[in-house]
Amino acid sequence: MTDSLQNGKKDNILLEVNGLKKYFPIQKGLLRKVVGYVKAVDDVSLYVREGETLGLVGESGCGKTTASRSIIRLYEPTAGQVLFKSRVLSPDGRPRMVNLLELNREQMTKVREEIAMIFQDPINSLNPRMTVADIIAEPMVIHGKYQKGRSEEIIISLLERVGLRADHLRRYPHEFSGGQRQRIGIARALALNPRLVLCDEPVSALDVSIQAQTLNLLQDLQKDFNLSYLFVAHDLSVVQHISDRIAVMYVGKVVEMASSEELYANPLHPYTEALLSAVPKPDPLYKSERIIMQGDVADPSNPPSGCYFHPRCRYVIDRCKTEAPAFREVKPDHWVACHRAEELQLKGI
């Protein structure tokens, strides 16, 4: 699988993840004996091109957050390869692919300058005892880039860029609303001029009108700073709106990856089809044929045999129960892990 991903047509790849796995051990008893593993991320492969947004969707517990955190090694991955085109680690300043999982601590800290993160919870991800100025300055301080005067100017311009005012600098997080706090988080992520931003559900805690403002802001910043986003979310309409390409996860695996138009118009995986049909449409006259998936999401510590989706799948055949499908490129730039991808006629939107 790893090979096939690399053989695909890929130019301008900024981030390439191959076979990423993260297993959390389940320990029991006095000696903390390992009795099993929660396979939170089980063989995830994806790539992000420069300047594009890859949406990562899936239901809660499917491992999207774990995957994004494993990429930047906030969780130490169990196996796999994370290739990132780094500038800071290359001796001549020309971007060069490095495997993040092989870096030592010092190099990892350095490369994090180029990869920023925006978190879901705008309340808990800001230190309540630091002022806005300190919060945004902290990445610069950690990376030894803070210069009096000059950095303050950068901070003010960042604040204004995300729609806050310079007189907010000396205030504390609790003085702001949820949407404003998320803007502070965005300004902090941009402090070091990153190239890749991992957005972990950045708008799901916000109200509809604030959500729209924040999505617009993220799109504007992407143009201005030539950012690439890995956009993790569970809301399919939000993901479709912001993403160029979308990867769908189910129980630790990416089951489908395609451009956002293609995925919504011609889904190839039954899970994608069911997920799309389940999204409530803001139109009272829309007559939906909803596919109600039976049962709950599989347990990642005790996944079903074969294809993990087979107990809930409408199109299940015997092969699905025994043989796990490979993640393969069925059409150009359209990847899917389903045995019946070619024969099924699935409905999009």
**Which residues contact other proteins by CB under 8 A?**
59-60, 177, 179-180, 207-213, 215-216, 219, 234, 236-238, 240-242, 260-261, 264-265, 274-276, 278-286, 288, 290, 292-293, 295-297, 349
Residue 233: CB minimum distance to other proteins, A:
11
Residue 68: CB minimum distance to other proteins, A:
18
Residue 296: CB minimum distance to other proteins, A:
5
CA-closest candidate to residue 45, choices 269, 308, 329, 348: 329
Residue 304: CB minimum distance to other proteins, A:
15
Instruction: Output the six-digit token pair for 240.
Output: 């479709």
Which of 90, 302 has the CB closer to other proteins? 302
320, 254 in Cβ contact below 8 A? no
CA 345, 48, 241, 185 torsion-angle sign: positive
311, 318 in Cβ contact below 8 A? no
Residue 57: CB minimum distance to other proteins, A:
10
Which of 112, 183 has the CB closer to other proteins? 183
**C-alpha angle 234-240-241 in degrees, rounded to nearest 5:** 115
268, 274 in Cβ contact below 8 A? no
Residue 22: CB minimum distance to other proteins, A:
21
- Buried residues in 64-78 as b, exposed as e (16+ CB within 10 A): bbbbbbbbbbebebb
* C-alpha to C-alpha distance for 326 and 180, rounded to whole angstroms: 43
Residue 264: CB minimum distance to other proteins, A:
6
Which of 119, 309 has the CB closer to other proteins? 309
Which of 84, 250 has the CB closer to other proteins? 250
Which of 196, 274 has the CB closer to other proteins? 274
Which of 144, 284 has the CB closer to other proteins? 284
Which of 129, 223 has the CB closer to other proteins? 223
192, 113 in Cβ contact below 8 A? yes
CA 258, 261, 266, 271 torsion-angle sign: positive
CA-closest candidate to residue 188, choices 159, 152, 217, 229: 159
Between the alpha carbon of residue 194 and those of residues 132, 140, 197, 201, the distances in Å are 19, 12, 7, 19
Inter-axis angle of helices 150-161 and 178-189, to 10 degrees? Answer: 130
Q: What residue has token string 């995957």?
A: 67
Which of 207, 342 has the CB closer to other proteins? 207
Give the three-state DSSP class for 266: coil
Residue 339: CB minimum distance to other proteins, A:
22
Which of 70, 180 has the CB closer to other proteins? 180
Instruction: Output the six-digit token pair for 222.
Output: 């992407």
- CA 276 to mean position of chain CA atoms: 19
Residue 168: CB minimum distance to other proteins, A:
13
